[in-house]
Amino acid sequence: MLIYEAIQHGRKCLAAANVASPLLDAQVLLGHCLDLDRMALLLKRDHHVPNEPWRLYCQLIDRRANFEPVAYLVGNREFCGLDFQLSPATLIPRPDSETLVEAVLAAIADHEAPLRVLDLGTGSGCLLLSLLAVLPKATGVGLDISEDALSMAKTNAKRLDLENRASFKQSEWTAALDPKAAPFDVVLSNPPYISHDDLAQLMPDVRCYEPMGALDGGPDGLDAYRAIIEQIPPFLSADGLLAFELGAGQAPMVGTLLQTAFGQPPSIHKDLAGHDRVVLFRKALR
């Protein structure tokens, strides 16, 4: 079997299963099995695929045909220009969430300041670690309820050489966070925000494989926002920044929750698709 034949074979299997991007997925999976990037696959199109990688590739194509996400099959995903290792315990980082990182960075006046960052529901650690990577003096804490997700976040901190500035702890929101750890200058979260009605509508790639605890936001999708907004005041510095990712159509409701709790309206930021994606709230200095 030659490389281009293997790609064609994979593409056909995935197209027959109605996978959304069959050619790209076949290339990424074969590249993973042969330890080659996609360009190298093109340049070596007439090279033979050895038996062992071929067997592995066929298994991965079968799993992808059952909608298992490519990021779990290959074990990593790029986010904010960094490479994050993943497991099924961690949500797969989305380009949408880069809007959250971008909005927080735009709101921070001094990137050289020794800021303290708190990431609630850190998962793979992608949000916290992407921020620390461009804020050379910042330190951060990532909390998550899942031990398995935290072990992935710690691995990522190590791989990105950020383990001296990032620490991780198991906690349901701020429940296990020592009050002495306060105050934080930036608190951010991409919480579970899918409502129960919408959970059933998710694509099988998400619904059947990504961690339900990272998706399920309760009956109306807002449970996590309510819990965090209630718990966060003692942990936020006097002029601290609170930043959330939002689900579709949630800006007005989360905006109202923040306005009610803090007496000030937040600002809303759109993602590249033009959807309200991020809500930022700056606590006023008193």
Task: Give the residue numbers of the binding site.
Answer: 121-125, 144, 173, 190-193
Q: Look up tokens 């220009």; give the residue.
A: 81
Q: Let me know: does 138 contact 165? Beta carbons within 8 Å.
A: yes
User: Does residue 247 interact with ligand GLN by CB under 6 A?
Assistant: no
User: Does residue 126 interact with ligand GLN by CB under 6 A?
Assistant: yes
Shortest distance (Å) from residue 167 CB to ligand GLN: 16
Shortest distance (Å) from residue 97 CB to ligand GLN: 5
User: Does residue 190 interact with ligand GLN by CB under 6 A?
Assistant: yes
Tell me whether residue 10 or residue 93 sits nearer to ligand GLN (CB atom).
Answer: 93
Q: Look up tokens 């399920």; give the residue.
A: 216
Name residues whose C-beta falls within 8 Å of residue 42's C-beta, 6 or more positions apart in sequence: none
User: Does residue 278 interact with ligand GLN by CB under 6 A?
Assistant: no
User: Does residue 22 interact with ligand GLN by CB under 6 A?
Assistant: no
User: Does residue 122 interact with ligand GLN by CB under 6 A?
Assistant: yes
By CB under 6 A, which span of 17-25, 54-62, 189-197, 257-265 interacts with ligand GLN?
189-197
CB neighbours of residue 223 within 10 Å: 16
User: Does residue 192 interact with ligand GLN by CB under 6 A?
Assistant: yes
Which residue minimizes CB distance to ligand GLN?
123
Q: Let me know: does 153 contact 131? Beta carbons within 8 Å.
A: no
Of 170, 115, 182, residue with least CA distance to 142: 170
Q: Look up tokens 């696959």; give the residue.
A: 41
Which residues carry a binding-site annotation for S-adenosyl-L-methionine? Answer: 121-125, 144, 173, 190
Find how far residue 56's CA is from the centre of its chain: 27
Tell me whether residue 238 or residue 272 sits nearer to ligand GLN (CB atom).
Answer: 272
Strands 116-120 and 139-144: parallel
User: Does residue 123 interact with ligand GLN by CB under 6 A?
Assistant: yes
By CB under 6 A, which span of 33-41, 106-114, 119-127, 129-137 interacts with ligand GLN?
119-127
**DSSP strand E in the chain: where?**
76-79, 82-85, 116-120, 139-144, 166-170, 184-189, 236-245, 267-270, 276-282
Q: How far apart are CA 201 and CA 16, in angstroms?
A: 22
Q: According to CB under 6 A, which one of 31, 93, 221, 266 is a site residue for ligand GLN? A: 93
By CB under 6 A, which span of 90-98, 198-206, 228-236, 250-258 interacts with ligand GLN?
90-98
Strands 166-170 and 76-79: unpaired
Q: Let me know: does 118 contact 189? Beta carbons within 8 Å.
A: no
Which residues carry a binding-site annotation for substrate? Answer: 190-193
Q: How far apart are CA 277 and CA 103, in angstroms?
A: 10
Please give the residue ranges that form the binding site for ligand GLN (CB under 6 A).
91, 93, 97, 121-124, 126-127, 190-192, 214
